[in-house]
Structure 1
């Protein structure tokens, strides 16, 4: 059946919705196919039939019923989002899901059949509330051009938002790293691992998690839709930082910070010293933030935002920099002196500007410098990092992440190892498993170098036996992923049953 790009549901079509319509709303063809035919492509099945184990490292399969329920829930949630975005109501969603000929509502009808109509209606209401909240914080993108417009608007919003305190500036680095990934992916929805983001932003994974939980997630800037596992990174969605109940994401690094204004009863100023808006070039920040010279114990995040602000608006005074960078006055003075000592910036009178060759090597073009400025060129970034003792931090972090990935991959490979299908015989109409030696019971002389088991009678590898690389774990069939203790118990049971049959 061929569908148009959109179906006008104000004109019922028995072949489409059997009289169930959404007023004057329209649904895209993908939504109508999902409602009528279900998930034919398996788009919503990814991750439904597996989950992380209790150790948070390995992936184990869900039971068939659990996997089917998770798959059905994802289809139901997708239909609810389509209806909410089209301006429909919960009553119309209920009609679509409970219609007996709509394959997309199978999960909801299964709940109604097992637990009753009331439980199914409660489930629909919860899904609808979640879909409505999701739709209110996302934007429908009809083309790649629209996606880039959204990302450009988000970049402007990031650059004009005050990121106060050390933690706020660190959050800016993490958010800009995710914006880089989103621009590569072509939309707010993107995939990235924690290690990948930490390397891009030039921070540790611990710091990354802290700013995500305390600033970016509560502020509505970033949402993790799905935690990555195995060889897949996490799935993220960039928001606009405007979730209700959060006036601004740029939280202070400490709740009792010196940036709070003094007591008005003392007759002192009544506003914080930093402005309510900022003005920096985040592209400059994104290219510099991964360098060792801007690690926490070197120039730091304050130098990053000051350089970014001076790049977009040269010749700023200290008071102007406090407003455009959202850095406190004391930190601004201290950071300017440090940058000047390294020859990265220079001042004429009360105004500061970047040195003519300050950003060499990063592909960043500086505004035309004043010919009267004859300051010496900036020192090398490597030399700056070495002077602060931070040279090599990024390389060590990357090496650590590489080792962690290799160890994790080795664990996944061990977990995925399966030996050949077990021998099963039929006695008296029932199947009996022929027990085989557990891998830790096989003498070392039987082990072949390639992981196979040598037949003691012939000295040749036995095609039916294999030992896992950890020397203990053995999986009887590809669908059998039990623990070692469970395998040992199964072996004892099979041995007892075999002896009784014999």
Structure 2
């Protein structure tokens, strides 16, 4: 309610009047506080609610139509693609963020619903890796928020945010140490004057990241970044890829060499471009992302393979995604079975045959004891020593009760204790 008033341009005074109106059911809690603790205490409660609502509204984007929602997601995708995702942790976070962007596009807005297992399958990573990426990168960076944890058969509620307010510029690769010196044919490293910043096509990354060929022990996330960067801007040198794909020098050279060995990239002048084989099943999503013609397989490409499936088989990661989906399906089935058992709350029934009829035997209760433990005057006997146990008593209905010092209080003492407890509760409210 407070968020609705804030989005409508209202004020805290209008929210206070609305919540304290006696005929408004939504303000019942504020009305109870005003009745028991005074108007000042209720006003303080409303102001705290208003501050939280303003913070939430300022951190979200208001869209009025489905077209504006798609435009908003397109702006968010552009912001994600031009952000520097450094290190293996950053590249993994990009895969998770791209998976949630896919869910948001299907939902038609930044607010979407998905389980951790669904996001892990979409990103092509394990569930534990997904949690680490969310807790260590996406949540602190302001990219993704979990509004409500899923329960039962419902997934969690997520909201895609705009990330940090001020993004740090990508570091120049020549300022980073490298174990692989640059090749003279590839030109000089980029300078701050010629640095164009991070730029990848996340749509290609979103289409390929769930494949077994891009598992951690196969091509990995660095190959996804190189393919996404070359798809957005062909003809880049490894030096330029260190900035556009957010890679170190050594990783850029190593990844380009690996992709060239598989026939996925080829030289295009001074830089590199994707071959047609690298975009099988993807297509050119950008008009300027035109791949160079595919030459005949060179003799030095002895590890070249045909198709992502063959590439995953070569790395020994074929079937990883299928195994992950099967494991998640088994976990979901076990979880739903446990929920069904809890809902039914059934236990094995005991029956006895009496006069030819099957009679249900009541289950044992925690306050029932065998008849041999009953002592004189309602005392309880210890089954080991045979002596009476102090503090325990058998009531007239045969149930076991525990006597406490409070049971010896008189009626006036009980009334006084009740009045004191009621006063403390009203003071706390």
TM-score higher than 0.5: yes
Separation of aligned partners in 2, 1:411 and 1:385: 36
Residue 489 of structure 1 corresponds to: 366
In 1, Cα distance between equivalents of 2:284 and 2:251: 27
Q: Determine if the alignment matches structure 1 residue 227 to structure 2 residue 149.
A: yes
1:393 match: 320
**What CA deviation, in whole Å up to 9, does each residue of 1:299-319 have, x standing for no partner?**
111100110111122221122
Q: Does residue 182 in structure 1 map to residue 114 in structure 2?
A: no
1:102 counterpart residue number: 24
**How well do the aligned residues superpose, as a CA RMSD in angstroms?**
3.3
- Counterpart in 2 of 1:404? 331
Question: What secondary structure, in the 3-state scheme, does the structure 2 residue paired with 1:353 have?
Answer: strand
Q: Cα–Cα, structure 1 residues 113 and 379, in superposed 2: closer, same or farther, change >3 Å? A: same
CA-CA distance at 1:201 after TM superposition: 0.4
* Contact 1:166-1:301 within 8 A present in 2 as well: yes
Distance (Å, rounded) in 1 between the aligned partners of 2:237 and 2:133: 30
2:167 aligned with 1:248: yes
- CA distance in 1 between counterparts of 2:319 and 2:168 reads 32
Q: Using the alignment, how far apart are the partners of 1:260 and 1:228 within structure 2?
A: 44
1:456 maps to which residue?
A: 353
Q: Deviations over 1:463-499 (max 9, x none)?
A: x789xxxxxxx9xxxxxxxxxxxx9436679x96654
CA distances 1:13-34 after superposition (whole Å, capped 9, x unpaired)? xxxxxxxxxxxxxxxxxxxxxx
Q: Is the 8 A contact 1:164 1:250 kept in 2?
A: no
**Residue 74 (structure 2) pairs with residue 147 (structure 1):** no
CA contact (8 A) 1:193 1:234 kept: yes
CA distance in 1, matches of 2:243, 2:207: 23
| Separation in structure 1 between the aligned mates of residue 341 and residue 294 of structure 2, nearest angstrom | 66
Distance 1:99 1:328 in 2: 62
Matched, 1:340 2:293: no
CA distance in 2, matches of 1:137, 1:129: 13
**Distance in 2 between the 1:383 and 1:407 partners?**
34
Q: CA deviation at 1:378?
A: 4.9
- 2:145 touches 2:161 (CA, 8 Å); kept in 1? yes
How far apart are residue 228 of structure 1 and its match?
Answer: 0.6
> How many Å apart are 1:295 and its aligned residue?
1.1
What are the superposed Cα offsets for residues 411-434 of structure 1, whole Å, 9 maximum, x if unpaired? 111111146xxxxxxxxxxxxxxx
Taking structure 1 as reference, are residues 368 and 94 closer, same or farther at Cα in structure 2, changes over 3 Å only?
A: closer
- The Cα of 1:461 is off from its aligned counterpart by 7.1
**Which residue is 2:224 aligned to?**
304
Q: Aligned-pair distance for 1:293?
A: 1.1
Q: 1: CA distance between counterparts of 2:231 and 2:240?
A: 14
Pair 1:414 & 2:291 matched: no
More displaced stretch, 374-383 vs 308-317: 374-383
Would you say the 8 A contact 1:274–1:323 is kept in 2?
no
Among 3, 9, 12, the alignment partner of 1:90 is 12
Shift of 1:402: 1.5
**Local SS of the residue matching 2:338:** helix
Matched with 1:364 is 283
Q: State the TM-score, normalized to the length of structure 1.
A: 0.64
In 1, distance between residues paired with 2:196 and 2:233? 18
Could you say which structure has the greater relative contact order, defined with CA pairs below 8 angstroms and 6 or more residues apart?
A: 2
Secondary structure of 2:279's counterpart equals coil
Q: Distance in 1 between matches of 2:361 and 2:104?
A: 47
Q: C-alpha distance in 1, partners of 2:244/2:159?
A: 27
Q: How many residues align?
A: 356
Offset of residue 139 of structure 1: 1.5
2:290 maps to 1:290: no
CA positional deviation for 1:278: 1.5
Are the equivalent residues in 2 in contact too, given 1:168–1:251 (CA < 8 A)?
A: no
Rounded Cα–Cα distance in structure 1 between residues aligned with 2:176 and 2:271: 26
Aligned ranges for residues 189-228 of structure 1 at < 5 Å?
A: 189-228=111-150
Q: Does 1:236 align with 2:163?
A: no
Distance in 2, Cα, partners of 1:345 & 1:372: 9
> Is residue 173–residue 201 contact of structure 1 (8 Å, CA) maintained in 2?
yes
Q: Is the 8 A contact 2:215 2:317 kept in 1?
A: yes
Q: 1:112 to 1:313 in 2, by over 3 A?
A: same
**Is 1:163–1:250's contact at 8 Å kept on the other side of the alignment?**
no
Q: In terms of mean alpha carbon deviation, does 88-97 or 277-286 score higher?
A: 88-97
Deviation for aligned residue 1:349: 4.5
Contact 2:242–2:252 (Cα < 8 Å) also in 1:
yes
Q: 5+ unaligned residues in a row in structure 2: which ranges?
A: 178-188, 299-303, 370-391, 400-429
Q: Give the corresponding residue for 1:350.
A: 270
1:249–1:295 CA distance, 2 compared to 1 (3 A):
farther
d(CA) in 1 for partners of 2:196 and 2:275?
Answer: 28
Alignment-derived partner of residue 480 in structure 1: none
1:200 and 1:368 map into 2 onto residues whose CA distance is: 27
- Decide whether the 8 Å contact of 2:277 with 2:306 is kept in 1: no
C-alpha distance in 2 between matches for 1:465 and 1:356: 74
